[in-house]
Amino acid sequence: MDTFEIGDQDFLLNDRPFRILSGAIHYFRVHPDLWADRIHKARLMGLNTIETYVPWNEHSPVPGSFVADGGLDLGRFLDLVADSGMHAIVRPGPYICAEWDNGGLPAWLFTDPTVGVRSSEPAYLAAVSAYMESVLDVVVPRQISHGGPVIMFQIENEYGAYGSDKAYLQHLVDLSKRLGVDVPLFTCDQPFGTMIEDGSLPELHKTGTFGSRADERLAFLRERQPTGPLMCAEFWNGWFDNWGTHHHTTDAAASAAELDVLLTAGASVNIYMFHGGTNFGFSNGANDKGIYEPTITSYDYDAPLSEDGQPTAKYFAFRDVIAKHFPVPAEVPAARPSLTASVAAVSRSVPLLSVPPVTQLVPGPVPPVEITGQYRGFYVYEVLLQGGGVLSFSEVRDRAQFFVDGVPVGVLSREAGERTVVIPRGGRLQVLLEDQGRVNYGQRIGEAKGLIGPALLNGVEVVDWEIGAVDLESLDAFHDAALPFPDGDPAHAGVAGPSLSFATFEADGPGDRFLRLDGWTKGNAFINGFNLGRYWSRGPQRTLYVPGPLIREGANELAILELHGSATREVTFAVGPDLGPDEK
């Protein structure tokens, strides 16, 4: 049986020095029918290992569950890595950051305010233990010592940037070993201050995360770990985007030069990201360092392999660097196939609020949305107001549209710090609340979403709200209620919001598409019921990636959840991605 160990200066594969050349692919951000393609292209760039996080909240959407099929079939993903002749590194958190909703921590966990966050608090540890048992049921049989691809297993994730609870880290170590992990355990932290010491334990192998000044970062790491192989566990070769900013890119030649420095120094590396993928549905995270900044749908990351799996200039620059140090396969990936642009037009629509969610009356102050048992997406608050005036909240998390008897009266945005809206008169107040993504980094992890009280109308608290979650897992109820647009409407008539509109388009068969929504404002788009993610006219991204396996031969259905209104009923399937202008 194969072995993988940490030696005095090297990783040792079957007792021989081995350099890890890894690339990050998050299986949960890639359509499962495309996993093998992405893994193969990593091997063609010269990599020998695939690294992935494991998102707890995705696998456990409700307490007591662990979903591990379809796009969450971690076992199948690892088996495909093995089939490609590559090794695997698994990083299960329980916190992963990753610009992922709540940093991967389940929102349901924090509905009990006494539960700790990333600490040795007992209720938190109990939940973590149950999660890790499920993960390790998949991972342990796939360790290299069992004939599988897994060579390393990470404890927590950049914990030194958050805390220094050694009992918590020791619990994760003891739990992992008790459940059968026998490959090396490691931690990763930024090489600054005391983060490496705070985020690890003496028995764990320490690695660094950085994207520049490699010599300096490696020297910092070596000072704190005199023996063992050097490794950059996240070589940041790109970056992520927030709504309303530019598309972040990094120079391919400069990134390749830094990679060359790493490899020349004898270090191992994990390229973060090799292939970024997509924040489908409502899975994106957010940052909040005084200003709330939700992450966009695309997680292209300016990675060597683009969001739709195509080699970039950075791919070939990295491949050339790797070839200076190690053998690289002769085969190279093909370029993106040529596509033909096409147009589709929505033909039927239904107001979103005309298909009301199942609501519950919550006596007392305005409640957070978690009371509904749904932890992502959209919610509706309702209350009867006897008169108008100034309505205020302590905070809005994250974006609220206000309607009185169906008439829009205002929008409050967390990004803008807005907390007050003028209600013109009494009547039935409805609030459509959008959770734009839970904070994935820092001290606001685990916070509640919704209208944060007290809710005051002219200084008097408004109580006894009804609240319900908008169910978008199936669009059947909206589809059944949708009506055709009136005959004789102008050719360029728009769509009122909030609404769900439907279009049918034909396809010859599966194949990637890029949905462009010029003239639409904000919302989500769905292909054959699959939630592609959020769009927003503020950019930067202008297209949504449609993975080819979602498209079927013959008739396909596009659904658009538009929150405000559009200037058109048409959308375009573009010939390629448009992630917006960069800062150059």
In a domain, 543, yes or no: yes
Structure tokens belonging to residue 111: 């509905």
For residues 201 and 296, membership in a common domain is answered with: yes
536 domain residue, yes or no: yes
Q: What is the pLDDT of residues 494-508, one digit of tens each?
A: 999 999 999 999 999
432: helix, strand or coil: strand
417 and 272 share one domain: no
Are 259 and 321 within 8 A, CB to CB?
yes
pLDDT in tens, 288-320: 999 999 999 999 999 999 999 999 999 999 999
In the chain, the percentage of residues whose pLDDT exceeds 70 is 100
The gap from C-alpha 230 to its chain's centroid, in whole angstroms, comes to 29
For 140-165, what is the mean pLDDT?
98
CB contact at 8 A, 42 and 329: no
Average pLDDT, the chain: 97
CA pair distance 97, 285, nearest whole angstrom: 8
CA distance 289 to 440: 11
* Catalytic-residue membership of 307: no
pLDDT band at 583 (very low <50, low <70, confident <90, very high): confident
pLDDT in the model for residue 491: 65
pLDDT in tens, 406-445: 999 999 999 999 999 999 999 999 999 999 999 999 999 9
Mean pLDDT of 51-60: 98
- Does 281 lie in the same domain as 419? no
Q: What are phi and psi of 519, to 5 degrees?
A: 90, -10
- Which pLDDT value is given to residue 412? 98
> CA-CA distance, 501 to 558, in Å (whole number)?
8
CATH value at residue 510: 2.60.120.260
Residues 407 and 494 in one domain: no
Q: Of residues 51, 99, 156, 234, which has the active-site annotation? A: 234
The answer as to whether 337 is a domain residue is: no
Statement to judge: residues 289 and 369 lie in one domain: no
Could you tell me the two tokens for 368? 């957070």
Q: Do residue 493 and residue 556 come from a single domain?
A: yes
- Examine residue 490 and state whether it is found in any structural domain, yes or no: yes
Write down the pLDDT at residue 110: 96
Question: Which pLDDT tens digit goes with each residue over 459-514?
Answer: 999 999 999 999 999 999 999 999 999 987 776 799 999 999 999 999 999 999 99
Q: For residues 456 and 366, what is the distance between their CA atoms, to the nearest angstrom?
A: 10
> How far is residue 112 from each of residues 124, 148, 168, measured CA to CA in Å?
10, 39, 19
- Of 51, 156, 158, 307, the catalytic one is 158
* 458: in domain: yes
Burial-class residue 51 by CB neighbours within 10 Å (0-12, 13-18, 19+).
buried
Helix ranges, 69-185 (H): 74-83, 122-139, 166-178
Q: Are 55 and 158 part of one and the same domain? A: yes
Q: Which residues contact 364 (CB under 8 A, 6 or more apart)?
A: 463, 464
Is residue 158 annotated as part of the catalytic site, yes or no?
Answer: yes
Q: Would you say residue 334 lies in a domain? A: no
Task: Please check whether residue 43 lies inside any domain of the structure.
Answer: yes
- Dump pLDDT digits (tens) for 199-249: 999 999 999 999 999 999 999 999 999 999 999 999 999 999 999 999 999
How many domains does one find in the chain? 3
The pLDDT value given to residue 584: 58
Q: Given a cut of 70, is residue 85 above it in pLDDT? A: yes
Q: What is the DSSP letter of 439?
A: B
The pLDDT of residue 339: 87
Q: pLDDT by residue (tens digit) across 180-196?
A: 999 999 999 999 999 99
Could you tell me the two tokens for 552? 């079927």
Entry pTM: 0.97
List the domain range (segments joined by +) for residue 160: 4-325
Sheet holding 522-527, edge to edge: 483-484, 348-351, 499-507, 554-562, 522-527, 530-536
Give me the CATH number covering residue 298. 3.20.20.80
- Domain identity same for 442 and 564: no
What is the distance between the alpha carbons of residues 45 and 23, in angstroms, rounded to a whole number? 10
Residue 338 has pLDDT above 90, yes or no: no
For position 336, what pLDDT does the model report? 84
Tokens, residue 427: 């009547």
Q: What is the pLDDT of residues 538-582, one digit of tens each?
A: 999 999 999 999 999 999 999 999 999 999 999 999 999 999 998
